[in-house]
């Protein structure tokens, strides 16, 4: 090879390699910075606790209801005209946590056109949107249903 050509060619090759090396180093640092930022965001999210709190209300409400489903849970529908009597906004159906055997029989025969009138003494709203109701309020009656 010609000596005049080899010197500029080797300098150009060294410059190209230096640029390539610095580019790869720079992108690697950028990836590490993004990874660090992502870890910090995840740690902050883990530390934040949900701001949702279960709210319970005590007070007597005479409402017309009918049974939507039976089994382990007694889920009730509420008449539209009685929704304003309830101190919470019902987004789903109402779950009665302590029905009596007599009331269960009445509810089994009820329908939207033939509702049963019940006296509810307490209501609670859970973070998952469920609304609980109790016939006989006692301190801590809703505690088993609250999940932290």
- Eight-class DSSP state of 82: G
| Domain regions of the chain by residue span | 1-48, 55-142
pLDDT for 78-127, tens place per residue?
A: 888 888 888 777 766 888 888 888 988 998 898 889 999 999 888 888 87
Distance, CA of 109 to CA of 66 (rounded, Å):
8
pLDDT for 10-64, tens place per residue?
A: 888 888 888 888 777 766 666 656 566 667 777 776 666 657 777 888 888 899 9
pTM: 0.59
Classify domain 55-142 at the CATH topology level: OB fold (Dihydrolipoamide Acetyltransferase, E2P) (2.40.50)
Distance, CA of 79 to CA of 110 (rounded, Å):
12
């Amino acid at each position: 090879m010609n000596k005049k050509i080899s010197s500029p060619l080797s300098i150009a090759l060294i410059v190209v390699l230096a640029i390539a090396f610095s580019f790869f180093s720079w992108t690697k640092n950028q990836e590490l910075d993004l990874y660090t930022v992502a870890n910090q965001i995840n740690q902050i999210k883990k530390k934040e606790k949900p701001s949702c709190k279960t709210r319970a209300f005590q007070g007597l409400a005479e409402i017309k209801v009918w049974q939507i489903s039976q089994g382990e849970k007694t889920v009730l529908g509420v008449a539209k005209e009685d929704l304003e009597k309830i101190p919470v906004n019902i987004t789903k159906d109402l779950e009665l946590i302590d029905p009596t055997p007599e009331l269960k029989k009445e509810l089994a025969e009820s329908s939207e056109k033939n509702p049963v009138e019940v006296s509810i003494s307490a209501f609670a709203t859970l973070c998952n949107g469920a609304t609980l109701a109790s016939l006989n309020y006692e301190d801590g009656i809703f505690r088993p249903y609250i999940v932290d």
